[in-house]
Amino acid sequence: ASASEDKTVKLWNLDGSLLDTLEGHQDQVWGVSFSPDSKLIASASADKTVKLWHLDGTLLKTLEGHQDQVWGVSFSPDSKQIASASNDGTVKLWNRNGKLLKTLEGDNQEHNDAVNWVSFSPDGEMIASASSDGTVKLWNRDGKLLKTLEGHNGAVNWVSFSPDGTLIASASSDTTVNLWSRDGHLINTFKGHNDSVFGVSFSPDGKWLASASKDKTVILWNLDVDYLLRRGCAWLYDYWHHNRDAQRDQLCGF
């Protein structure tokens, strides 16, 4: 499924043939997502709405409630809830029938700028929102703010959970990708792009991270712990070879 500035969503076969064109939005379509049970499609638009479609192209429901354009939309792993991210600075949770369940805001906990993307954790218990205010916020499904992740120096454009739900990756206009633990600790900052990073995704086995940038490149980052350990041990071996009085570390077997 593809989202376009021509106000449509197009469905394609894996061989590249066009299956259907979903028409109904009144402005650009910025995001589109399949439900995990493969029964629904959700589209997010600059017309301030989210639309739910059947796979045969039938429009089922229009979700209205945002005060500005909607940048992204995601389904929960059980396909029962939908989260939408909007330029109005909020995340809204809906059920699959289109009923608004909750707006993630209040008590000065909401984002201070546009929310660019939103993702559910694989277990469905946590929601991560990425904002132009430079932060990622972690929420539970009841709408309680759990943690605000601060570490970027620019808008955060995308956020993704690792397949096992233990890691979170955020892509930013500061040209970096940050890797966080599920409890909100910054693990690493990946630097290599020369312009804004707009997307980031984990491989299914969780060992690789791919980032997409305005600099026209995609970078693959190796998250394999064994690989990183081997690289680290090789560096330590070289260091100890030239600094024989340095303390040894049994982790690498030296």
pLDDT in tens, 33-69: 999 999 999 999 999 999 999 999 999 999 999 999 9
CA distance 245 to 43: 62
Q: Which helix (H) or strand (E) holds 46?
A: none
Domain with CATH 2.130.10.10 in the chain: 2-224
The residue among 103, 139, 20, 176 whose CA lies nearest residue 32 is 20
Query: Quick one: pLDDT at residue 231?
Result: 59
Residue 117 pLDDT exceeds 60: yes
Average pLDDT estimate for 198-205 = 96
CATH number, domain 2-224, options 2.130.10.10, 3.30.930.10, 3.90.1150.10, 1.20.1560.10: 2.130.10.10
What does the pLDDT look like over 167-186, one tens digit per residue? 999 999 999 999 999 988 89
Q: What percent of the chain has pLDDT over 70?
A: 87
What does the pLDDT look like over 69-107, one tens digit per residue? 999 999 999 999 999 999 999 999 999 999 999 998 755
Residue 253 pLDDT exceeds 70: no
Average pLDDT estimate for 127-131 = 96
Of the pLDDT bands very low, low, confident and very high (cuts 50, 70, 90), residue 249 is low
User: Which DSSP symbol is given to 77?
Assistant: T
Residue 27 pLDDT exceeds 80: yes
What does the pLDDT look like over 147-165, one tens digit per residue? 999 999 999 999 999 999 9
CA distance 231 to 109: 41
The residue among 21, 60, 68 whose CA lies nearest residue 44 is 68
Query: Quick one: pLDDT at residue 177?
Result: 97
Query: Quick one: pLDDT at residue 5?
Result: 96
Residue 228 pLDDT exceeds 60: no
Of the pLDDT bands very low, low, confident and very high (cuts 50, 70, 90), residue 234 is low
Query: pTM value?
Result: 0.84
Query: Quick one: pLDDT at residue 141?
Result: 87
Q: Which two tokens stand for residue 202?
A: 């984990």
In the block, tokens 């995609």 appear at 218
Of the pLDDT bands very low, low, confident and very high (cuts 50, 70, 90), residue 238 is low
- CA-CA-CA-CA dihedral for 57, 63, 66, 67, to nearest 10: 80
Average pLDDT, the chain: 90
Query: Quick one: pLDDT at residue 208?
Result: 95
